[in-house]
Structures are given as C-alpha cells and as structure tokens.
Amino acid sequence: MAMLILGALCIGIASVIGGATGFGTALIATPVMLMAGFDVAEVVFVNLVAGLVTRLSAAYQLRSQINWGRVALLGAGSLPGAWLGAVTLSLLPEQFLKPAAGALVMMCGVAMALPVRTETPRTPSTPALALTGAVGGYLGTTTSLNGPPPVLLLMRARLPPLSFIADLAGYFIVANVIALAILWFRDEVTESMIWPRLPVFVLAALMGNLIGLAIARRLSPGVFRSAVIVLVIAAGAVTLTVG
C-alpha cells in the first residue's frame, strides 16, 4: 500500500508539470519513481500509459493546430527506435539503466536552458524529424523519456505555443502506442504492472494534469520554465548519484 501511495504521488506531481508545459511528466516521474524503489520496467510502462492518457485530451482540444505531417514523421521514426530500445531493455541490467536515466534527465535540463539563436519560426527538415523520432522511440522503451528529443527540436524551431503543444501531444500518442505495443509483444509487461497499481497511477496522472493546466493560466511562462529546468536537473542529479 505504501508503494501504491508513493507511486501515485510521484506520477501525480509529475503530471502537474506535464499539464502546465505540454511535456515533462516522464522527465520528473522517472527519476523520482526510481529513487522511490520502483524498477525501470514498471516506471517505463506507467509513464507511457500516463503520457498517452493525458495527451489524448490535449490533442483533441488542439486538433486544429496539429501539423500531421510533422507528427507522422516523428511517429514513424519512433518505430525502429522503440524496437531497438526494447531489445536493450531486456539485455542491460537495471543498475546500468538507472544512472543512464539520471544522466539523460540532467542533459535534457541543460539543453532546455541553452538560448536559441533565432526567434523566427522554421520548419524542421524531414531527416531531422525522422531521426528525432527514432531517438525518442529508443528512449521511450528504455527509460520512458521519449519527450526530450522532439521537445528540443520543436523548441529550437520556434513554433508558436499552441502548435508546439499540439504537435507534442500528437507525437506522444503515436510514440507511446508504438512503445507500449512493442513492450507487450516482447512480454515486457507483467500482470503486476497493470493491477492494482496502474488504475491508481493513471487517475493520479489525470488529476495532476488538470491541476497543471490551471497553474499554467496563473504563472508566467518564464518563471515556470525556469522552475521546471531546475527541478529536472536536480532530479537527474539525484538519480545519477543514487543509481
């Protein structure tokens, strides 16, 4: 019961950030849940399901803003990457994956903090979208951190905020479905991951997502973005240290 409550708090708090920024749920939930004692495989599964459920609502609300061409290229690229990641997950021991996840979270936070040279919106190239999707797919099935690659690409493309959130929502839906299907096909999903924990975790994610959307309407983007970057780097550093 204690692990159930702890896991729900982890995913719920992480979903507050995800709801307010359009991304970041797995970035925060992964290191925190690993530190709480959950194994890598369950963390990956829970984050993928939670990300899928919460982004479905966002994609529906912003469906007119989605660039389906970008989403299709990112999603198609994630397929081979997700398969390779699933193979890696079954081969590498957990003691290697935990510190790797922590280091990756830290690097993502640092990359988000770097300034962008241009303020002019630009369209990412087809190869860049496909490669980014492949890297995201690989990270999705190994650590559930499939968000950072497209986030960095779209941030540096200077997309308008609604287009940014909408494209990310579409990508997460496609990529998470692919990743979950591959993990299921490879028997990486166990019954203990689904019941009784998963329904509670998904409910916590939905509640956190709603709170995050409410917070986003009250905080300035600059302040919240700075807080997220600091939290991401700190969470990654702790995971790297204790992993």
pLDDT of residue 21: 73
pLDDT higher than 80, residue 199: yes
pLDDT higher than 80, residue 45: yes
Residue 80, Cβ neighbours under 10 Å: how many? Answer: 15
CB 26 within 8 A of CB 101: no
pLDDT higher than 80, residue 118: no
CA distance 88 to 241: 22
What confidence category does residue 76 fall into, taking pLDDT thresholds of 50, 70 and 90? very high
pLDDT of residue 239: 67
pLDDT higher than 80, residue 112: no
What sign for the dihedral angle of Cα 3, 181, 23, 98? positive
CB 83 within 8 A of CB 136: no
Report which of 133, 91, 106 is spatially closest to residue 30, judged by C-alpha positions: 106
Q: Where are the beta strands (DSSP E) in the chain?
A: none
pLDDT of residue 107: 81
169-188 pLDDT, tens per residue? 899 999 999 999 998 988 88
CB 67 within 8 A of CB 169: no
Mean pLDDT over 26-36 rounds to 82
Per cent of the chain over pLDDT 90 is: 23
Whether the predicted model's global pTM rises above the 0.85 cut: no
